[in-house]
Chains A and B, each alone.
Chain A
Amino acid sequence: MTDVTEATPVARTPAPRAHPSRQGPPGEPRRVAYLYILPAFVFFAGFMAWPLLHGFWLSFYEWDGLTVGTWVGLDNYHSVLTDPELREPFLHSLILVIFFSAIPIVLGLTLAGLMMRARLRGMPFFRTVLFLPQVIAMVVVAIAWGHIYAPDGPLNDLLRTIGLDDLTHAWLGEPSWALVSVGVVGTWVGTGLCLILFLAGLSKVPRELYESARLDGAGALREFLNVGLPALRGELAVAMTLTMIAALRTFDLVYVMTPNGGPDRSTAVPSYEVYKRAFIDGEVGTAVTVAIVLTAIILVVTIGINRFAERGDEVRL
Chain B
Amino acid sequence: MIQRRSIISWRRRRAMRAAAATLAVTALALAACAPGEDNDGGEEAAPSDIETNVADMGDITLTVWDQQVRGGQAESIEALNAAFMDQYPNITIDRVSRSFADLRRALRLAITGDEAPDVVQANNTRSDMGAFVQAGLLRSLDGYADVYGWNDRFPDSVRATASYSEDGSVFGEGNLYGVPQVGEVIGVWYNKAKLAQLGIEPPQTLADFEAALQTAKDAGEIPIQFGNLDQWPGIHTFGFVQNQFVNKDEIRDLGFGREGGSWTDDTNVQAANTLQDWVDAGYFTEGFNGLGYDPAWQDFAKGQGVFLVSGTWLLADLRDAMGDNLGFTLPPIGETGDLTVTGATGLPFAITENSENPDAAAAYIDFITNSDAMQTLAEAGELPVVDAGEQQVSGTQAEVYDAWATATSDNALVPYLDWGTPEAYDLITVGVQSFMGGDQSTDEFLGTLEDDYSSFVSENSGG
Contact of B30 among A57, A64, A169, A175 (CB under 8 A): A57
Q: Is A150 within 8 A of B291, CB to CB?
A: yes
Q: Is B291 within 8 A of A69, CB to CB?
A: no
- Report A-chain residues with C-beta under 8 Å of the C-beta of B23: 53
Q: Is B290 within 8 A of A69, CB to CB?
A: no
A10 to chain B, nearest CB (A): 5
Q: Is A173 within 8 A of B290, CB to CB?
A: yes
- Report A-chain residues with C-beta under 8 Å of the C-beta of B289: 170, 173-174, 263
A61: CB under 8 A from chain B?
yes
A194: CB under 8 A from chain B?
no
Q: Is B228 within 8 A of A279, CB to CB?
A: no
Contact of A264 among B105, B109, B286, B439 (CB under 8 A): B439
Which residues 218-237 of A sit at the B interface, judged by CB distance below 8 A? none
Interface centre among B7, B104, B426 (most CB of A within 10 A): B426
Instruction: Pick the interface stretch among A199-207, A280-288, A301-309.
Output: A280-288
B322: CB under 8 A from chain A?
no
- A90-113 vs B, CB cutoff 8 Å, 1 = contact: the mask equals 000000000000000000000000
Knowing A65-B108, A66-B137, A146-B292 touch, does A173 contact B39 (C-beta < 8 A)? no
B434: CB under 8 A from chain A?
yes
- In Å, the complex CA distance between A151 and B39 comes to 49
Contact of A66 among B3, B39, B285, B290 (CB under 8 A): B39
B437: CB under 8 A from chain A?
yes
Q: Is B230 within 8 A of A66, CB to CB?
A: no
- In Å, the complex CA distance between A155 and B441 comes to 30
Q: With contacts defined as CB atoms under 8 Å apart, how many contacts are there between chain A and chain B in the complex?
A: 131
Q: Is B290 within 8 A of A67, CB to CB?
A: no
A197: CB under 8 A from chain B?
no
Which residues 155-195 of A sit at the B interface, judged by CB distance below 8 A? 156, 168-175
- Report B-chain residues with C-beta under 8 Å of the C-beta of A70: 34
- In Å, the complex CA distance between A170 and B291 comes to 8
- Which residue of chain B has the shortest Cβ distance to A146 in the bound complex? B292
Instruction: Pick the interface stretch among B82-90, B127-135, B186-194, B250-258.
Output: B127-135
Q: Is B433 within 8 A of A173, CB to CB?
A: yes
Q: Is A263 within 8 A of B232, CB to CB?
A: no
- Which residue of chain B has the shortest Cβ distance to A147 in the bound complex? B295
A63: CB under 8 A from chain B?
yes
Q: Is B290 within 8 A of A151, CB to CB?
A: yes
- In Å, the complex CA distance between A7 and B5 comes to 12
Which residues 338-367 of B sit at the A interface, judged by CB distance below 8 A? none
A142: CB under 8 A from chain B?
no
A79: CB under 8 A from chain B?
no
A149: CB under 8 A from chain B?
yes
- In Å, the complex CA distance between A264 and B228 comes to 13
A265: CB under 8 A from chain B?
yes
- In Å, the complex CA distance between A263 and B108 comes to 28
B117 to chain A, nearest CB (A): 15
A residues in contact (CB < 8 Å) with B: 4, 7, 9-10, 25, 53, 57-58, 61, 63-71, 146, 149-152, 156, 168-175, 258-261, 263-265, 279-282, 284
B47: CB under 8 A from chain A?
no
B287: CB under 8 A from chain A?
yes
Q: Is A66 within 8 A of B135, CB to CB?
A: yes
Q: Is B7 within 8 A of A10, CB to CB?
A: yes
Extra pairs beyond A152-B287, A174-B437, A259-B230 (11, CB < 8 Å):
A64-B36, A66-B39, A66-B131, A66-B134, A151-B288, A170-B291, A258-B229, A259-B229, A259-B231, A261-B430, A263-B439
**CB-CB nearest 3 A-B residue pairs:** A151-B287, A173-B289, A170-B290
Contact residue range for chain B?
Answer: 35 or more
- In Å, the complex CA distance between A63 and B108 comes to 12
B419 to chain A, nearest CB (A): 15
Contact of B1 among A4, A25, A146 (CB under 8 A): A4
- In Å, the complex CA distance between A233 and B30 comes to 45
Contact of B4 among A10, A53, A258 (CB under 8 A): A10
A150 to chain B, nearest CB (A): 6
Q: Is A174 within 8 A of B34, CB to CB?
A: no
Q: Is B105 within 8 A of A279, CB to CB?
A: yes
Q: Is A281 within 8 A of B127, CB to CB?
A: yes
- Report A-chain residues with C-beta under 8 Å of the C-beta of B58: none
- Report B-chain residues with C-beta under 8 Å of the C-beta of A170: 287-291, 437
B193 to chain A, nearest CB (A): 22
B439 to chain A, nearest CB (A): 6
- B258-298 vs A, CB cutoff 8 Å, 1 = contact: the mask equals 00000000000000000000000000011111111001000
- In Å, the complex CA distance between A175 and B431 comes to 12
Knowing A170-B290, A279-B105 touch, does A68 contact B433 (C-beta < 8 A)? no
Q: Is B4 within 8 A of A9, CB to CB?
A: yes
9 A-B pairs whose Cβ atoms sit less than 8 Å apart in the complex: A63-B34, A68-B36, A170-B291, A171-B290, A174-B290, A260-B426, A264-B439, A279-B104, A281-B127
Knowing A10-B3, A172-B229 touch, does A66 contact B292 (C-beta < 8 A)? no
Contact of B131 among A64, A69, A175 (CB under 8 A): A64
- Which residue of chain A has the shortest Cβ distance to B230 in the bound complex? A259
Q: Is A173 within 8 A of B288, CB to CB?
A: yes
Q: Is B4 within 8 A of A151, CB to CB?
A: no
- Report B-chain residues with C-beta under 8 Å of the C-beta of A171: 290
A185 to chain B, nearest CB (A): 15
- Report A-chain residues with C-beta under 8 Å of the C-beta of B134: 66-67
Q: Is A53 within 8 A of B292, CB to CB?
A: no
- In Å, the complex CA distance between A199 and B395 comes to 65
B37: CB under 8 A from chain A?
yes
